[in-house]
Amino acid sequence: MKALGAGDDKAVRAFCLGEEDLEKIAGEGIRNILGSSLLPENLRVAEALLTAADGKEVVLGSWDPGKIYRTQQGSPYKASIPMVGGGKLVLAIGPEPSEYLLDLVSIEGRWKILKIQKVDS
């Protein structure tokens, strides 16, 4: 978590899909929907994760990448790009395990969080 810059807003934003990234890969309709709802929620969840991990030992419990595929060019995507859907990340933050569901997208060779959701325990 240190490598992600726990508590560093810029580092968190760099790992989450942003408006500029959306503009590169998605059509206008899907950009409007994701930009107003999903992107702010991703930042909230990622920032909460890094805040919870600050100063604690974080251990990778498991990582299941889910399905790896390429999008189809056309609506809603501008190009065929690599994506990971239905990934599951389990981290032990201190003594407590936390589970997250992740969808990732590759933007110019760098994987970014398209969607992150904490699974309530």
- Taken in order 115, 43, 4, 56, the sign of the CA dihedral is negative
**What does 105-116 look like in DSSP terms, one character per residue?**
EEETTEEEEEEE
What's residue 1's pLDDT? 45
What's the mean pLDDT when you consider all of the chain?
86
Residues with Cβ < 8 Å from 72, sequence gap 6 or more?
A: 80
pLDDT digits (tens, 9 = 90+) for 36-58: 899 999 999 988 888 888 888 88
| Stronger pLDDT, 36 or 9, i.e. the higher one | 36
- Domains belonging to the chain, first-starting first, are 2-119 (3.10.450)
